[in-house]
Amino acid sequence: MIDLAPLWAFAAVALLVTLTPGVDTALTLRAAALAPRRGWGVAIGVQLGVLLWGTVSAAGVSALLAAAPAVMGAVRLAGAAYLIWVGGRLLWSALRSSARDAALPPTSGTSFLTGLRQGLVTNLLNPKIAAFYLAVLPQFVPATGSPLAWGAALAGMHALLGLVWLGALVLLVRTMRRWLARPRVQRSIDGVAGAAITGFGVAPAAQR
């Protein structure tokens, strides 16, 4: 009989990580305010990134990255640059005089696939996710279990929790859609989300 205790223990840790505000939360809220379908795209894209990080961590790829400081540094800087770029575009959008001047045009930036791509890329380039799985996941893999199977199961649990949480945020934002559609509110959302995302990008870029 398979002992599921490590799975539930990891779920408790993953839940705390999920509920902690970060890039994923900021992106989802901003995308959902723009269009619910894009919010769902970001939420699902983020979880696909979680599944990929969990799988590659279980396969030992994250350990290889950690053993190669230059490669890990390049990944960290690439992720930081991407976050700063996304945050900068949102800040620039907030400074413009009309919500129609948003960083991503409504005709092409409100689709589910646009959100899916942004959520996936942001999560894959987030060095904190790699560090989390490298440091935490091995502690919950039983010595007699398959690392790959357990890694996929643990990442699946994390992704499920994340989808429930981000999905709840999308539904919450949807109930406030009429108010959030106001140009002044849209610019405020862009400004807050842009500042937060830029900050998340500057922090790892400043680390040695």
- Domain residue limits at 57: 39-94+110-139+146-206
In a domain, 28, yes or no: no
Question: Mean pLDDT per 10-residue run, the chain (208 residues)?
Answer: 79 85 85 89 94 80 64 67 74 61 48 91 80 76 78 90 94 78 66 71 60
pLDDT at 158: 92
Does residue 6 form part of some domain? Answer: no
Q: Provide the pLDDT for residue 200.
A: 65
CA quadruple 199, 128, 117, 25: dihedral positive or negative? negative
Q: Is 121 inside any structural domain?
A: yes
Domain count across the chain: 1
**Tens-digit pLDDT profile for residues 142-156:** 777 777 888 888 889
Q: What is the pLDDT of residues 139-190, one digit of tens each?
A: 787 777 777 888 888 889 999 999 999 999 999 888 877 666 666 666 676 6
Domain contains 182: yes
Q: Residue 90: inside a domain, yes or no?
A: yes
Q: What is the DSSP string of the chain?
A: ----HHHHHHHHHHHHHHHS--HHHHHHHHHHHH-HHHHHHHHHHHHHHHHHHHHHHHTTHHHHHHH-HHHHHHHHHHHHHHHHHHHHHHHHHHHSSSGGG-SS-HHHHSSHHHHHHHHHHHHHT-HHHHHHHHHHGGGGS-TTS-HHHHHHHHHHHHHHHHHHHHHHHHHHHHHTHHHHTSHHHHHHHHHHHHHHHHHHHHHHHH--
Indicate whether 178 belongs to any domain. yes
34 belongs to a structural domain: no
The verdict on residue 125 lying in a domain is: yes
What pLDDT, on a 0 to 100 scale, did the predictor assign at position 103?
42
